[in-house]
Amino acid sequence: MPRITAARVIVTCPGRNFVTLKIETDEGVYGLGDATLNGRELAVASYLADHVAPCLIGRDAHRIEDVWQYLYKGAYWRRGPVTMAAIAAVDTALWDIKGKIANLPVYQLLGGASREGCMVYGHANGRDVEETLDDARRHVEQGYKAVRLQSGVPGLAATYGVAKHGQRYEPADGDLPTESLWSTSKYLRSAPALFEAGREALGWDVHLLHDVHHRLTPIEAARLGKDMEPYRLFWIEDAVPAENQANFRLIRQHTTTPLAVGEVFNSIWDAKQLIEEQLIDYIRATVVHAGGITHLKRLASFAAIHNVRTGCHGATDLSPVCMAAALHFGLSVANFGIQELMPHTAETDAVFPHGYSFADGLMHPGDGPGLGVDIDETLAARYEYKRAYLPVNRLEDGTVWDW
Protein backbone atom coordinates (compact mmCIF):
# COMPACT_ATOMS: atom_id res chain seq x y z
CA MET A 1 0.00 0.00 0.00
CA PRO A 2 1.52 3.38 -1.02
CA ARG A 3 1.40 5.67 2.01
CA ILE A 4 1.30 9.45 1.65
CA THR A 5 4.46 10.96 3.14
CA ALA A 6 4.13 14.59 2.00
CA ALA A 7 1.71 16.99 0.33
CA ARG A 8 3.42 20.17 -0.82
CA VAL A 9 1.91 23.25 -2.42
CA ILE A 10 3.93 24.83 -5.23
CA VAL A 11 3.01 28.37 -6.29
CA THR A 12 4.59 29.67 -9.49
CA CYS A 13 4.00 32.52 -11.96
CA PRO A 14 5.43 31.78 -15.42
CA GLY A 15 3.44 34.70 -16.88
CA ARG A 16 0.41 33.96 -14.72
CA ASN A 17 -0.12 32.30 -11.32
CA PHE A 18 -0.54 28.56 -10.86
CA VAL A 19 -1.01 26.56 -7.67
CA THR A 20 -0.01 22.89 -7.82
CA LEU A 21 -0.26 20.18 -5.19
CA LYS A 22 2.44 17.49 -5.19
CA ILE A 23 1.64 14.38 -3.15
CA GLU A 24 4.55 12.06 -2.37
CA THR A 25 4.41 8.44 -1.21
CA ASP A 26 6.75 6.05 0.58
CA GLU A 27 7.06 4.08 -2.69
CA GLY A 28 8.82 7.02 -4.32
CA VAL A 29 5.87 7.67 -6.64
CA TYR A 30 4.34 11.17 -6.59
CA GLY A 31 1.27 12.74 -8.14
CA LEU A 32 0.24 16.25 -9.20
CA GLY A 33 -3.03 18.14 -8.93
CA ASP A 34 -3.96 21.62 -10.16
CA ALA A 35 -5.39 23.94 -7.47
CA THR A 36 -5.45 27.25 -9.36
CA LEU A 37 -8.37 29.60 -8.64
CA ASN A 38 -7.83 32.68 -10.79
CA GLY A 39 -7.46 35.86 -8.72
CA ARG A 40 -7.86 33.97 -5.42
CA GLU A 41 -4.85 31.63 -5.65
CA LEU A 42 -3.44 31.97 -2.15
CA ALA A 43 -6.74 31.10 -0.48
CA VAL A 44 -6.56 27.60 -2.00
CA ALA A 45 -2.83 27.33 -1.28
CA SER A 46 -3.56 28.06 2.40
CA TYR A 47 -6.57 25.72 2.52
CA LEU A 48 -4.33 22.94 1.22
CA ALA A 49 -1.17 23.63 3.21
CA ASP A 50 -2.82 24.66 6.48
CA HIS A 51 -5.91 22.44 6.59
CA VAL A 52 -5.70 19.52 4.15
CA ALA A 53 -2.07 18.41 3.99
CA PRO A 54 -1.81 17.51 7.71
CA CYS A 55 -4.79 15.12 7.33
CA LEU A 56 -3.23 13.30 4.36
CA ILE A 57 0.02 12.12 5.90
CA GLY A 58 0.06 8.35 6.44
CA ARG A 59 -3.07 7.66 4.38
CA ASP A 60 -3.30 4.94 1.72
CA ALA A 61 -2.87 6.82 -1.58
CA HIS A 62 -4.96 4.19 -3.40
CA ARG A 63 -8.17 5.02 -1.48
CA ILE A 64 -9.22 7.87 -3.77
CA GLU A 65 -12.97 7.70 -3.12
CA ASP A 66 -12.50 7.46 0.63
CA VAL A 67 -10.14 10.45 0.70
CA TRP A 68 -12.62 12.42 -1.41
CA GLN A 69 -15.49 11.70 0.99
CA TYR A 70 -13.24 12.39 3.99
CA LEU A 71 -12.28 15.84 2.69
CA TYR A 72 -15.81 16.72 1.52
CA LYS A 73 -17.93 15.42 4.40
CA GLY A 74 -15.18 15.63 7.00
CA ALA A 75 -14.73 19.39 6.66
CA TYR A 76 -18.38 19.92 7.70
CA TRP A 77 -18.32 23.11 5.54
CA ARG A 78 -19.40 21.93 2.14
CA ARG A 79 -18.80 23.06 -1.42
CA GLY A 80 -17.46 26.46 -2.51
CA PRO A 81 -14.67 27.16 -5.01
CA VAL A 82 -11.82 27.22 -2.49
CA THR A 83 -12.73 23.92 -0.82
CA MET A 84 -13.60 22.15 -4.05
CA ALA A 85 -10.40 23.27 -5.82
CA ALA A 86 -8.40 21.93 -2.87
CA ILE A 87 -10.26 18.60 -2.95
CA ALA A 88 -9.78 18.48 -6.72
CA ALA A 89 -6.04 18.90 -6.35
CA VAL A 90 -5.80 16.00 -3.90
CA ASP A 91 -8.08 13.81 -6.03
CA THR A 92 -6.18 14.52 -9.26
CA ALA A 93 -2.83 13.83 -7.62
CA LEU A 94 -4.12 10.49 -6.30
CA TRP A 95 -5.34 9.44 -9.77
CA ASP A 96 -1.90 10.37 -11.08
CA ILE A 97 -0.26 8.18 -8.43
CA LYS A 98 -2.61 5.25 -9.12
CA GLY A 99 -1.85 5.46 -12.83
CA LYS A 100 1.89 5.56 -12.28
CA ILE A 101 1.76 2.54 -9.96
CA ALA A 102 -0.46 0.62 -12.40
CA ASN A 103 1.83 1.79 -15.21
CA LEU A 104 -1.25 2.91 -17.17
CA PRO A 105 -2.49 6.30 -18.38
CA VAL A 106 -5.33 7.56 -16.18
CA TYR A 107 -7.89 7.23 -18.99
CA GLN A 108 -7.34 3.47 -18.92
CA LEU A 109 -8.26 3.42 -15.23
CA LEU A 110 -11.43 5.39 -16.06
CA GLY A 111 -12.69 2.73 -18.47
CA GLY A 112 -10.45 3.24 -21.49
CA ALA A 113 -10.79 5.41 -24.57
CA SER A 114 -14.32 6.04 -25.86
CA ARG A 115 -12.99 7.95 -28.89
CA GLU A 116 -9.79 8.63 -30.85
CA GLY A 117 -9.28 12.05 -29.32
CA CYS A 118 -11.08 14.98 -27.70
CA MET A 119 -12.41 17.60 -30.09
CA VAL A 120 -11.25 21.01 -28.88
CA TYR A 121 -12.35 24.54 -29.71
CA GLY A 122 -9.93 27.42 -30.02
CA HIS A 123 -10.50 31.11 -29.33
CA ALA A 124 -10.63 33.50 -32.26
CA ASN A 125 -10.90 37.13 -31.26
CA GLY A 126 -10.29 40.59 -32.63
CA ARG A 127 -11.16 44.23 -32.12
CA ASP A 128 -13.63 44.07 -35.00
CA VAL A 129 -15.35 41.46 -37.18
CA GLU A 130 -12.57 41.34 -39.79
CA GLU A 131 -9.81 40.81 -37.21
CA THR A 132 -11.86 38.10 -35.53
CA LEU A 133 -12.52 36.28 -38.80
CA ASP A 134 -8.83 36.47 -39.79
CA ASP A 135 -8.01 34.82 -36.48
CA ALA A 136 -10.75 32.22 -37.05
CA ARG A 137 -9.29 31.39 -40.50
CA ARG A 138 -5.87 30.86 -38.87
CA HIS A 139 -7.49 28.39 -36.45
CA VAL A 140 -9.19 26.49 -39.28
CA GLU A 141 -5.84 26.32 -41.14
CA GLN A 142 -4.26 24.82 -38.01
CA GLY A 143 -6.88 22.05 -38.11
CA TYR A 144 -9.41 23.24 -35.53
CA LYS A 145 -12.86 21.76 -36.12
CA ALA A 146 -14.46 24.22 -33.71
CA VAL A 147 -13.78 27.90 -33.05
CA ARG A 148 -15.17 30.38 -30.54
CA LEU A 149 -15.75 33.86 -31.96
CA GLN A 150 -15.49 36.93 -29.69
CA SER A 151 -15.25 40.43 -31.11
CA GLY A 152 -14.98 43.99 -29.88
CA VAL A 153 -18.34 45.72 -29.46
CA PRO A 154 -18.63 49.05 -31.34
CA GLY A 155 -18.85 51.82 -28.75
CA LEU A 156 -17.17 49.83 -25.95
CA ALA A 157 -13.43 50.34 -25.35
CA ALA A 158 -12.77 46.73 -24.29
CA THR A 159 -14.77 43.59 -23.70
CA TYR A 160 -14.37 40.04 -22.45
CA GLY A 161 -12.40 37.69 -24.66
CA VAL A 162 -10.75 40.29 -26.89
CA ALA A 163 -6.97 40.63 -26.66
CA LYS A 164 -5.13 43.94 -26.75
CA HIS A 165 -3.59 44.21 -30.18
CA GLY A 166 -0.81 41.71 -30.78
CA GLN A 167 -1.05 40.25 -27.28
CA ARG A 168 -2.48 37.01 -25.95
CA TYR A 169 -5.72 37.30 -24.04
CA GLU A 170 -5.24 36.97 -20.31
CA PRO A 171 -8.08 38.44 -18.24
CA ALA A 172 -6.37 38.71 -14.82
CA ASP A 173 -4.64 41.93 -15.83
CA GLY A 174 -4.24 44.14 -12.77
CA ASP A 175 -2.72 44.04 -9.29
CA LEU A 176 -6.00 45.63 -8.36
CA PRO A 177 -9.13 44.91 -10.43
CA THR A 178 -9.32 46.98 -13.63
CA GLU A 179 -12.79 48.25 -14.53
CA SER A 180 -14.54 47.89 -17.87
CA LEU A 181 -17.74 49.28 -19.26
CA TRP A 182 -20.65 47.16 -20.47
CA SER A 183 -23.67 47.94 -22.62
CA THR A 184 -26.12 45.12 -23.27
CA SER A 185 -27.89 46.97 -26.07
CA LYS A 186 -24.65 47.63 -27.99
CA TYR A 187 -23.61 43.99 -27.54
CA LEU A 188 -26.97 42.55 -28.63
CA ARG A 189 -26.76 44.50 -31.88
CA SER A 190 -23.23 43.37 -32.73
CA ALA A 191 -23.15 39.67 -31.77
CA PRO A 192 -25.52 38.26 -34.43
CA ALA A 193 -23.75 40.33 -37.12
CA LEU A 194 -20.45 38.69 -36.15
CA PHE A 195 -21.91 35.24 -36.74
CA GLU A 196 -23.62 36.19 -39.97
CA ALA A 197 -20.23 37.35 -41.28
CA GLY A 198 -18.63 34.27 -39.69
CA ARG A 199 -20.79 31.82 -41.65
CA GLU A 200 -20.17 33.75 -44.86
CA ALA A 201 -16.40 33.71 -44.34
CA LEU A 202 -15.92 30.28 -42.79
CA GLY A 203 -18.74 28.20 -44.27
CA TRP A 204 -20.77 25.57 -42.46
CA ASP A 205 -18.26 22.80 -41.80
CA VAL A 206 -16.65 24.40 -38.77
CA HIS A 207 -18.42 24.48 -35.40
CA LEU A 208 -18.87 28.02 -34.11
CA LEU A 209 -19.24 28.88 -30.43
CA HIS A 210 -19.76 32.05 -28.41
CA ASP A 211 -19.29 33.06 -24.77
CA VAL A 212 -21.70 35.64 -23.30
CA HIS A 213 -19.82 35.53 -19.99
CA HIS A 214 -22.87 35.92 -17.74
CA ARG A 215 -23.86 39.40 -18.95
CA LEU A 216 -27.49 39.04 -20.00
CA THR A 217 -30.84 38.66 -18.27
CA PRO A 218 -32.89 35.56 -19.18
CA ILE A 219 -35.18 37.38 -21.61
CA GLU A 220 -32.20 39.07 -23.30
CA ALA A 221 -30.48 35.69 -23.57
CA ALA A 222 -33.65 34.27 -25.12
CA ARG A 223 -33.54 37.04 -27.74
CA LEU A 224 -29.86 36.40 -28.48
CA GLY A 225 -30.48 32.67 -28.82
CA LYS A 226 -33.25 33.34 -31.36
CA ASP A 227 -31.13 35.83 -33.29
CA MET A 228 -28.29 33.27 -33.48
CA GLU A 229 -30.49 30.41 -34.70
CA PRO A 230 -29.83 30.99 -38.42
CA TYR A 231 -26.07 30.52 -37.84
CA ARG A 232 -26.43 27.12 -36.12
CA LEU A 233 -24.04 27.64 -33.22
CA PHE A 234 -22.49 24.68 -31.41
CA TRP A 235 -23.39 26.56 -28.23
CA ILE A 236 -23.98 29.85 -26.48
CA GLU A 237 -22.01 29.80 -23.23
CA ASP A 238 -22.89 31.34 -19.85
CA ALA A 239 -25.80 33.32 -21.27
CA VAL A 240 -26.86 34.42 -17.77
CA PRO A 241 -25.49 33.97 -14.26
CA ALA A 242 -26.64 30.57 -13.02
CA GLU A 243 -27.01 30.80 -9.27
CA ASN A 244 -30.73 30.70 -10.00
CA GLN A 245 -30.90 27.61 -12.19
CA ALA A 246 -34.55 28.27 -13.06
CA ASN A 247 -33.33 31.26 -15.14
CA PHE A 248 -32.60 28.79 -17.90
CA ARG A 249 -36.25 27.72 -18.21
CA LEU A 250 -37.11 31.01 -19.80
CA ILE A 251 -34.19 30.91 -22.24
CA ARG A 252 -34.88 27.29 -23.16
CA GLN A 253 -38.52 27.98 -23.86
CA HIS A 254 -37.61 30.50 -26.56
CA THR A 255 -34.65 29.14 -28.50
CA THR A 256 -33.17 26.01 -30.07
CA THR A 257 -29.62 27.38 -29.89
CA PRO A 258 -27.74 24.90 -27.66
CA LEU A 259 -26.81 26.18 -24.21
CA ALA A 260 -23.63 25.60 -22.19
CA VAL A 261 -22.93 26.74 -18.66
CA GLY A 262 -20.86 25.88 -15.61
CA GLU A 263 -17.24 27.01 -15.73
CA VAL A 264 -17.72 28.58 -12.28
CA PHE A 265 -19.65 25.60 -10.88
CA ASN A 266 -17.95 23.58 -8.21
CA SER A 267 -20.27 20.68 -7.59
CA ILE A 268 -23.04 18.55 -9.01
CA TRP A 269 -25.50 20.58 -6.91
CA ASP A 270 -24.82 23.72 -8.97
CA ALA A 271 -26.18 21.89 -12.01
CA LYS A 272 -28.83 19.57 -10.58
CA GLN A 273 -31.93 21.40 -11.81
CA LEU A 274 -30.27 22.46 -15.06
CA ILE A 275 -29.55 18.84 -15.88
CA GLU A 276 -32.68 17.20 -14.50
CA GLU A 277 -34.95 19.56 -16.42
CA GLN A 278 -32.74 19.35 -19.53
CA LEU A 279 -32.34 23.11 -19.52
CA ILE A 280 -28.79 22.92 -20.92
CA ASP A 281 -26.93 20.88 -23.51
CA TYR A 282 -23.35 21.08 -22.22
CA ILE A 283 -21.97 21.21 -18.70
CA ARG A 284 -18.71 23.22 -18.48
CA ALA A 285 -17.48 22.26 -15.02
CA THR A 286 -13.92 21.01 -15.05
CA VAL A 287 -11.49 19.02 -12.94
CA VAL A 288 -9.82 21.76 -10.88
CA HIS A 289 -12.92 23.72 -9.90
CA ALA A 290 -15.38 20.85 -9.50
CA GLY A 291 -13.83 18.42 -7.07
CA GLY A 292 -11.45 16.53 -9.32
CA ILE A 293 -11.81 13.56 -11.64
CA THR A 294 -13.88 11.62 -9.07
CA HIS A 295 -16.59 14.27 -8.77
CA LEU A 296 -16.58 15.18 -12.45
CA LYS A 297 -17.20 11.55 -13.37
CA ARG A 298 -20.21 11.53 -11.05
CA LEU A 299 -21.48 14.75 -12.64
CA ALA A 300 -20.97 13.36 -16.16
CA SER A 301 -22.84 10.14 -15.34
CA PHE A 302 -25.75 12.15 -13.99
CA ALA A 303 -25.66 14.39 -17.08
CA ALA A 304 -25.57 11.41 -19.45
CA ILE A 305 -29.01 10.15 -18.47
CA HIS A 306 -30.43 13.60 -19.28
CA ASN A 307 -28.70 13.99 -22.68
CA VAL A 308 -26.28 16.62 -21.41
CA ARG A 309 -22.73 16.34 -22.68
CA THR A 310 -19.46 17.65 -21.26
CA GLY A 311 -17.68 20.79 -22.43
CA CYS A 312 -14.90 21.37 -19.91
CA HIS A 313 -13.52 24.82 -19.26
CA GLY A 314 -9.95 25.07 -20.55
CA ALA A 315 -8.71 28.65 -20.21
CA THR A 316 -5.06 29.52 -19.55
CA ASP A 317 -5.74 29.96 -15.82
CA LEU A 318 -6.26 26.19 -15.59
CA SER A 319 -2.78 24.67 -15.48
CA PRO A 320 -1.42 21.96 -17.79
CA VAL A 321 -2.05 19.53 -14.91
CA CYS A 322 -5.77 20.30 -15.19
CA MET A 323 -5.65 20.09 -18.99
CA ALA A 324 -4.07 16.63 -18.80
CA ALA A 325 -6.70 15.47 -16.28
CA ALA A 326 -9.52 16.92 -18.41
CA LEU A 327 -8.22 15.04 -21.46
CA HIS A 328 -8.04 11.69 -19.64
CA PHE A 329 -11.58 12.33 -18.43
CA GLY A 330 -12.79 13.51 -21.84
CA LEU A 331 -11.25 10.61 -23.73
CA SER A 332 -12.94 8.06 -21.49
CA VAL A 333 -16.35 9.48 -20.59
CA ALA A 334 -19.32 8.31 -22.68
CA ASN A 335 -21.00 11.72 -23.03
CA PHE A 336 -18.01 13.86 -23.97
CA GLY A 337 -18.99 16.92 -26.02
CA ILE A 338 -16.02 19.21 -26.57
CA GLN A 339 -13.00 20.58 -24.68
CA GLU A 340 -11.95 24.25 -24.58
CA LEU A 341 -8.33 24.94 -25.54
CA MET A 342 -6.43 28.14 -24.88
CA PRO A 343 -2.80 27.11 -25.43
CA HIS A 344 -0.41 28.02 -22.60
CA THR A 345 2.69 30.15 -23.13
CA ALA A 346 6.07 28.52 -23.80
CA GLU A 347 7.13 29.57 -20.25
CA THR A 348 4.18 27.70 -18.72
CA ASP A 349 4.71 24.63 -20.90
CA ALA A 350 8.37 24.55 -19.80
CA VAL A 351 7.40 24.56 -16.11
CA PHE A 352 4.87 21.75 -16.76
CA PRO A 353 6.37 19.31 -19.31
CA HIS A 354 3.52 17.16 -20.63
CA GLY A 355 2.62 14.36 -22.97
CA TYR A 356 -0.69 15.62 -24.35
CA SER A 357 -0.83 16.69 -27.98
CA PHE A 358 -3.00 18.34 -30.64
CA ALA A 359 -3.58 17.00 -34.16
CA ASP A 360 -6.40 17.58 -36.67
CA GLY A 361 -8.56 19.44 -34.18
CA LEU A 362 -8.39 16.69 -31.55
CA MET A 363 -6.32 16.41 -28.41
CA HIS A 364 -4.98 13.23 -26.85
CA PRO A 365 -3.63 12.90 -23.29
CA GLY A 366 -0.79 10.59 -24.37
CA ASP A 367 -0.03 7.05 -23.20
CA GLY A 368 2.48 7.66 -20.44
CA PRO A 369 1.63 6.35 -16.94
CA GLY A 370 -0.57 8.55 -14.76
CA LEU A 371 -1.57 11.98 -16.05
CA GLY A 372 1.55 12.34 -18.19
CA VAL A 373 2.42 15.79 -16.85
CA ASP A 374 5.26 16.85 -14.57
CA ILE A 375 6.48 20.00 -12.83
CA ASP A 376 10.02 21.38 -13.10
CA GLU A 377 10.35 22.66 -9.55
CA THR A 378 13.65 24.44 -10.12
CA LEU A 379 12.14 26.41 -12.98
CA ALA A 380 8.90 26.97 -11.07
CA ALA A 381 10.85 28.50 -8.17
CA ARG A 382 12.22 31.19 -10.48
CA TYR A 383 8.75 32.68 -11.02
CA GLU A 384 7.46 34.42 -7.92
CA TYR A 385 3.72 34.77 -7.22
CA LYS A 386 2.32 38.04 -8.52
CA ARG A 387 -1.06 39.30 -7.32
CA ALA A 388 -3.48 39.57 -10.25
CA TYR A 389 -7.21 40.19 -10.34
CA LEU A 390 -9.97 39.61 -12.86
CA PRO A 391 -11.67 42.83 -14.05
CA VAL A 392 -14.88 44.31 -12.67
CA ASN A 393 -17.67 45.40 -15.02
CA ARG A 394 -19.89 48.48 -14.77
CA LEU A 395 -22.85 49.67 -16.80
CA GLU A 396 -22.67 53.10 -18.41
CA ASP A 397 -24.40 54.66 -15.36
CA GLY A 398 -21.83 53.17 -12.99
CA THR A 399 -23.81 50.15 -11.75
CA VAL A 400 -21.63 47.14 -10.97
CA TRP A 401 -22.49 44.35 -13.42
CA ASP A 402 -21.42 40.75 -14.01
CA TRP A 403 -18.00 40.49 -15.60
CB of 339 to Co ion, least distance (A): 13
- Based on C-alpha coordinates, what's the Rg of the chain? 20
Beta strands per DSSP E along 84-213: 118-126, 146-151, 179-182, 207-211
Q: Which of 34, 270, 281, 317 binds ligand EZ4 (CB under 6 A)?
A: 317
Q: At residue 103, what is the residue type?
A: N
Beta strands in 256-306 (DSSP E): 259-261, 282-283
| 372, 169, 41, 289 alpha-carbon torsion, rounded to 10° | -60
Question: Which 125-164 positions form the footprint of ligand EZ4 (CB under 6 A)?
Answer: none
- 201 near ligand EZ4, rule: CB under 6 A: no
Provide the annotated active-site residues. Answer: 160, 213
Pick from ligand EZ4, Co ion, none: which does 41 bind, CB < 5 to 8 A by kind? none
CB of 123 to ligand EZ4, least distance (A): 8
Q: Report the residue number, 342 or 371, with the smaller CB distance to Co ion.
A: 342
Closest to Co ion by CB, 211 vs 270, is 211
Name the residue type at position 128. Answer: D
The CA distances from residue 350 to 92, 276, 364, 377, in Å, are 21, 42, 19, 11
Q: Does 171 bind ligand EZ4 (CB under 6 A)?
A: yes
Which of 63, 391 has the CB closer to ligand EZ4?
391
Q: Which is nearer to ligand EZ4, 70 or 389 (CB)?
A: 389
**Quick count: other Cβ atoms within 10 Å of Cβ 18?**
30
261 CA to centre of own chain: 11
Residue 181 binding result from Co ion, ligand EZ4, none, given CB thresholds of 5 to 8 Å by partner type: none
**Identity of residue 231:** Y
Chain positions 205 to 224 lying near Co ion, rule: CB under 5 A, are: 211
Residues paired with 347 in a beta bridge: none
What does 317 interact with, of ligand EZ4, Co ion, none (CB < 5 to 8 A by kind)?
A: ligand EZ4
Instruction: State yes or no: residue 281 binds Co ion (CB under 5 A).
Output: no
Interaction between residue 340 and Co ion (CB under 5 A): no
* Strands (E) located in 117-183: 118-126, 146-151, 179-182
Least distance in angstroms from the C-beta of 103 to Co ion = 36
